[in-house]
Structure 1
Amino acid sequence: MEKFDWHKNPIDDYTIITDSYKTTQNVRRYFKSKFGESFKFDRTFMDWMKNATGLTMADAAQEWIRRQASK
């Protein structure tokens, strides 16, 4: 199986977060398409993403929503 390229492979809700996850402009575009220009990465969410291997990008989107609700 080829390694997922976080820079150029298409990302959707079903994309599995791999152990090779990278915070890229491609990932930022995915989140901005879901949440608009208000989306911002912060250090704790980036750390969460790095440790979310096996979850989906939809799971990550739900985590971002949860974090925003608790602010």
Structure 2
Amino acid sequence: MTKVDWHKNQIDDNTVITRSYKSTQNVRRYFKSKCGENFKFDRAFMQWMKASEGVTMGAAAQEWLSRQQVNDAS
């Protein structure tokens, strides 16, 4: 798996989450561009990200959005 510098690398939907994943400002910008200005890291989602090695960032954005729909329905 290619090493990703989560601080500097361009992140797109096809970027694969690696073991070295970090919740950086660069990652936050990506999620805000995909999920909207209401995007926030919460503890559960951060744990999900850490456990999601091999998943694409596009799939991670969809996961965050689906979690919001569940929360909104509650």
CA positional deviation for 1:37: 1.2
Structure 1 runs of 4+ aligned residues shifted over 4 Å read none
Q: What is residue 35 of structure 2 aligned with on the other side?
A: 35
Structure 2 residue 3 is matched with structure 1 residue 3: yes
Structure 1 unpaired stretches of 5+: none
CA positional deviation for 1:18: 0.3
CA positional deviation for 1:36: 2.0
| Identical-pair percentage | 69
Could you say if the C-alpha distance between residues 2 and 52 of structure 1 is closer, same or farther in structure 2, counting changes exceeding 3 Å? closer
RMSD of the alignment, in Å? Answer: 1.2
Could you say if the C-alpha distance between residues 2 and 56 of structure 1 is closer, same or farther in structure 2, counting changes exceeding 3 Å? closer
Q: What is residue 24 of structure 1 aligned with on the other side?
A: 24
How many aligned residue pairs are there?
Answer: 71
Structure 2 unpaired stretches of 5+: none
